[in-house]
Amino acid sequence: MTETTVSRSAVLAGGAATVAAALLGGTAQASTKEHPHVALIRRYYAAYAKGDLNALREFFAPDIRWAIPGHHPLAGTKTGVKEVLAFFTELGRAGFRAEVLFLAADGDWVVDMHRGWSTSPPGLDITWVLAYRIQRGRIVEAVNFAADQHAADAFFWQRYPLAPLPDRLRTR
User: Quick check: pTM over 0.85?
Assistant: no
pLDDT band for 10, please (50, 70, 90 cuts): very low
Task: Write down all domains in the chain, each with its CATH number in brackets.
Answer: 10-159 (3.10.450.50)
Q: What's the whole-number average pLDDT of the chain?
A: 86
127 and 114 Cβ atoms separated by less than 8 Å: yes
**pLDDT band at residue 169, thresholds of 50, 70 and 90?**
confident
| pLDDT over 90 percentage in the chain | 69
DSSP strand pairing (138-146 vs 60-68): parallel
Q: Is the pLDDT of residue 20 over 50?
A: no
Q: List, for residues 86-104, the tens digit of each pLDDT value.
A: 999 999 988 999 999 999 9
Burial class from Cβ neighbours inside 10 Å (0-12, 13-18, 19+) for residue 27 reads exposed
Q: Please work out, in degrees rounded to the nearest 5, the angle formed at the alpha carbon of residue 89 by the alpha carbons of 93 and 55.
A: 125
**How confident is the model at residue 31, as a pLDDT?**
54
Start-to-end C-alpha separation, the chain: 68
53-71: average pLDDT:
97
